[in-house]
Chains A and B, each alone.
Chain A
Amino acid sequence: AQSVSQHNHHVILSEAASLELGCNYSYGGTVNLFWYVQYPGQHLQLLLKYFSGDPLVKGIKGFEAEFIKSKFSFNLRKPSVQWSDTAEYFCAVRREYGNKLVFGAGTILRVKS
């Protein structure tokens, strides 16, 4: 079965620090990859996605993620975080053309102002 691992459950950063959240998946076939963000008290929103092509994808709010197929990884990055980035971040994967999204356990990011 597919699984998604997010390496850190809690991350605390100061404003302007750089962010990298790790995500690894276990499925060996072609996959589509996603990062979602959940701000406090809100529902999940799509941050960015990778389907094919350039393995470096850019999303909203200055986030980007890099797909490294050989490492089964899809790490999320942001060069300089803001207090408003405080949220929980979920990596998700689905098999190509499938309907089912499998989510990681989530990483809670707290940005200190």
Chain B
Amino acid sequence: EAQVTQNPRYLITVTGKKLTVTCSQNMNHEYMSWYRQDPGLGLRQIYYSMNVEVTDKGDVPEGYKVSRKEKRNFPLILESPSPNQTSLYFCASSPLGLPEKLFFGSGTQLSVL
């Protein structure tokens, strides 16, 4: 079954404690992306990757890091989380140049206290 798997689904943490949200896809997609979803603001892109070792900033990259060492994995790293990073996070993947085939993960609800 084609899927984008994010873990964990829910995470509560405290300010400053480093965390990683994992994302893995089994469709051999080149393009992967992280979004955060906030009420009234829709989805905003954090980082994206067009292939292994190729990553670039989206619209709201501050406070986040990513890596793309393997094609299937695209973890999101918060080195020092802050309360304003409390949000719902989605990972997505698609073949390159085909965003209409963007496949979303189930989301990670993060709360930073």
Contacts and interface: CB of A to CB of B under 8 A. Distances in A.
B100 interface: yes
B106 A43 contact: yes
Interface stretch (B13-21, B40-48, B64-72): B40-48
Contacts of B40: 9, 105-106
The range of chain A's interface size is 20 to 34
Nearest to A42: B106
Interface in A6-61: 6, 9, 32, 34, 42-46, 49, 51
Interface stretch (A62-70, A78-86, A94-102): A94-102
Of A4, A42, A94, A100, most buried by chain B (CB within 10 Å of CB) is A100
B102 A101 contact: yes
Interface string B46-82: 0010100000001000000000000000000000000
A101 B33 CA distance: 10
A43 B104 contact: yes
A42 B104 CA distance: 10
